[in-house]
């Protein structure tokens, strides 16, 4: 999966907060303007730290010959003519100087400028609903110059009444139904400078479907591509982590994965990880599921690889229900998988480890990556439900609380994931925007997501597509 520095556990809280700050920027009309100015010219990094977001060494842009100073960053962007120039985090090399010019002109009111924005919107938004997009300078008209290549016609654009700096995207009735995926729009703003000369500019508007504000709370899920451009672990996506430790050390844990689809066979894909191996659930190179649970000292409580059920592309959708209880020294571990209309016990008939009492889980929870490996997950997922209680998933009645035994579709657990009148610590569900914003509907605090594919100018070929 390549080399690169990992994200130290001691810095995860700051990393998560920085990712959440990025979303605060995105909700502010001024965010894109100053964000891109700082990112592409000043060397003030979007994660809020002066250098590497975790260790203080290097920029959040993976460019050849990058360094800690503004001059070396700019030089590296100019010199970067290899694969790195395709990374969505920054401009292709020939554009680096020209990219700053419209920002300066816009600051001086000598041009018009479309502010790149990423906007969450309820996936079932009604026809006629409007979303504001923002410009710098004196703008007289706006158009969608390049519609989303997969889902065109969902929005039209026009200037807001009595405004020369705001336009409105209006949801059309031409394409009935929900917003099916991330929409990437290229918007053109036309206007004049202070001397009356005609000016125009094209920028990016991304609309991310969200469960927030939607009529239903049924998980819709997200598809994660794998970043093949960034060479360092800390810059790769998908990578998700909790701001704080969701759990205290304890004897019990239940994990439910809903709507799991893998995007390739024969590779290791991490799904959950606490302190690398304390609570590690991953699909291995043999396409089997491995589960490793350790105590606070790092001694195995269980280290099993399932002997049945391959998790493969051809297999389609899987649901996984896993639960562990130390049970006063007589451990219980239940692992059940649903696929193609039936549930199967996939726990191997092997013994338990020498670990004692409590699972060592009082640290940050990582998803889709471990502390020492590149983000390896490639696939789709509708929801993750985790709580520090034991649920006997050998009982169909317990599994039925999470998914339909015939269709496999997730049960609507409401806005907070409550099961048996108790809100879990972790419940990640919803649509693309909810995952990328790190929205935890459980009780244990919020997450951050390494959403680097949303950053930067230009058409972004790294946006995920369904498998």
Give the model confidence (pLDDT) of 352-403 as tens digits: 998 888 999 999 999 987 765 555 688 889 999 999 999 999 999 999 999 9
Among 366, 370, 406, 400, which Cα is nearest to 384's? 366
List where CATH 2.60.40 sits in the chain: 124-210
C-alpha span between 264 and 378 (Å, rounded) = 7
CB 369 within 8 A of CB 272: no
Highest-confidence segment of 91-95, 150-154, 155-159, 372-376 = 155-159
Q: Tell me what the mean pLDDT of segment 437-453 comes to.
A: 83
Helix axes 70-79, 96-107, angle to 10 degrees: 130
The encoded tokens of residue 192 equal 């004049």
Report which DSSP code applies to 62: -
Among 347, 354, 370, 346, which Cα is nearest to 278's? 370
pLDDT digit string, tens, across residues 177-205: 788 888 889 999 999 987 888 989 888 88
Predicted local distance difference test score (pLDDT) of residue 119 = 86
Question: Between these two residues, 251 and 201, which has the higher pLDDT value?
Answer: 251
Report which DSSP code applies to 145: E
Split at pLDDT 50, 70, 90, the class of 248 is very high
Specify the CATH number for 222-454; select among 2.60.120.200, 2.60.40.2380, 3.40.50.1970, 1.10.760.10.
2.60.120.200
320 has pLDDT over 50: yes
Predicted local distance difference test score (pLDDT) of residue 94 = 32
List where CATH 2.60.120.200 sits in the chain: 222-454
Predicted local distance difference test score (pLDDT) of residue 421 = 96
Specify the CATH number for 124-210; select among 2.60.120, 1.10.10, 3.40.50, 2.60.40.
2.60.40
| C-alpha distance across the termini of the chain, in Å | 20
88 has pLDDT over 70: no
For residue 402, what are the contacts with CB-CB under 8 A and spacing of at least 6?
A: 256, 258, 319, 321, 385, 410, 411, 413, 419
Among 402, 456, 441, which Cα is nearest to 210's? 441
Question: Between these two residues, 34 and 126, which has the higher pLDDT value?
Answer: 126
Predicted local distance difference test score (pLDDT) of residue 157 = 97
pLDDT digit string, tens, across residues 225-246: 766 555 455 555 677 888 889 9
102 has pLDDT over 70: no
């Amino acid at each position: 999966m390549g080399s690169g520095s990992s994200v130290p556990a001691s810095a995860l809280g700051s990393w998560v907060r920085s990712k959440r700050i990025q979303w605060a920027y995105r909700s502010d009309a001024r965010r894109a303007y100053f964000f891109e100015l700082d990112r592409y010219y000043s060397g003030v990094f979007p994660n809020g730290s002066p250098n590497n977001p975790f260790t203080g060494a290097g920029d959040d842009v993976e460019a050849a010959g990058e360094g800690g100073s503004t001059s070396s960053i700019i030089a590296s962007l100019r010199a970067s003519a290899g694969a790195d120039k395709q990374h969505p985090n920054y401009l292709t090399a020939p554009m680096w100087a020209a990219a700053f010019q419209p920002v300066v002109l816009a600051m001086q009111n000598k041009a018009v400028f479309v502010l790149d924005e990423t906007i969450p919107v309820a996936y079932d938004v009604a026809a006629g609903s409007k979303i504001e997009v923002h410009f710098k300078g004196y703008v007289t008209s706006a158009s969608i110059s390049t519609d989303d290549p997969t889902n065109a016609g969902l929005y039209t654009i026009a200037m807001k009444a009595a405004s020369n700096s705001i336009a409105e995207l209006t949801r059309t009735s031409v394409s009935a139904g929900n917003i099916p995926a991330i929409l990437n729009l290229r918007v053109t703003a036309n206007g004049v400078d202070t001397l009356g000369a005609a000016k125009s500019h094209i920028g990016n508007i991304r609309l991310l479907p969200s469960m927030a504000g939607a009529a239903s709370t049924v998980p819709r899920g997200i598809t994660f591509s794998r970043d093949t451009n960034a060479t360092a672990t800390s810059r790769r996506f998908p990578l998700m982590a909790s701001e704080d430790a969701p759990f205290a050390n304890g004897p019990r844990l239940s994990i439910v994965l809903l709507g799991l689809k893998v995007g390739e066979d024969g590779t290791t894909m991490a799904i959950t990880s606490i302190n690398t191996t304390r609570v590690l659930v991953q699909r291995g190179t043999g396409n089997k599921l491995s589960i490793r649970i350790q105590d606070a000292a790092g001694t195995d409580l269980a280290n099993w690889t399932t002997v049945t059920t391959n998790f493969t592309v051809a297999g389609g959708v899987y649901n996984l229900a896993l639960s562990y209880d130390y049970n006063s020294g007589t451990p219980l571990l239940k692992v059940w998988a649903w696929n193609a209309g039936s549930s199967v016990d996939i726990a191997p008939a092997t013994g338990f480890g020498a670990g004692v009492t409590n699972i060592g889980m009082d640290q940050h929870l990582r998803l889709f990556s471990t502390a020492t490996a590149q983000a390896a997950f490639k696939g789709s997922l509708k929801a993750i439900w985790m709580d520090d209680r034991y649920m006997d998933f050998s009982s169909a009645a317990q599994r039925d609380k999470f998914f339909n035994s015939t269709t496999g579709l997730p049960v609507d657990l409401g806005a907070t994931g409550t099961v048996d009148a108790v809100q879990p610590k972790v419940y990640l569900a919803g649509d693309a925007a909810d995952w990328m914003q790190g929205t935890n509907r459980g009780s244990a605090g919020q997450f951050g997501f390494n959403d680097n594919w949303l950053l930067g100018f230009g058409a972004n070929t790294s946006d995920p597509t369904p498998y």
